[in-house]
Amino acid sequence: MAEMQHVHSAHQPNEMQNALMESMSAMHRDMEKGMQYQDADVAFAASMLPHHEGAVKMAEIELKYGKDPELRQLAENIIKAQQSEIQFMQQWLETHQTKQ
């Protein structure tokens, strides 16, 4: 419970918290842009792409600031797994987004 109180205290966010908030805000903003498309497939890919990019950014923040070896390994795994999906969605959108 003490940890939860710490999160909700009135202190100024530190560098790590600012990085996480910035990455989350950008991810949500860019995910919402994907909803502009009428085609469900394009909207899905255009929204999921920033979601995956956001996961990579959060994992990079974990690697920069985190200390727990298991979470650092998870962050590395997330980066590796998301990169191929990011590449697939980018390529898919290049060929399908122009057909709108």
Is 18 part of a structural domain of the chain?
no
Residue 57 lies in a domain: yes
pTM: 0.79
Residue 87 has what pLDDT?
97
Q: Which domain holds residue 92?
A: 29-99
Number of domains in the chain: 1
Chain CA centroid to CA 63, Å: 14
In a domain, 90, yes or no: yes
The closest alpha carbon to 52, from 17, 36, 60, 40, belongs to 60
Let me know if residue 67 belongs to a domain.
Answer: yes
pLDDT by residue, tens only, the chain of 100 residues: 445 445 555 688 899 999 999 999 999 999 999 989 999 999 999 999 999 999 999 999 999 999 999 999 999 999 999 999 999 999 999 998 765 5
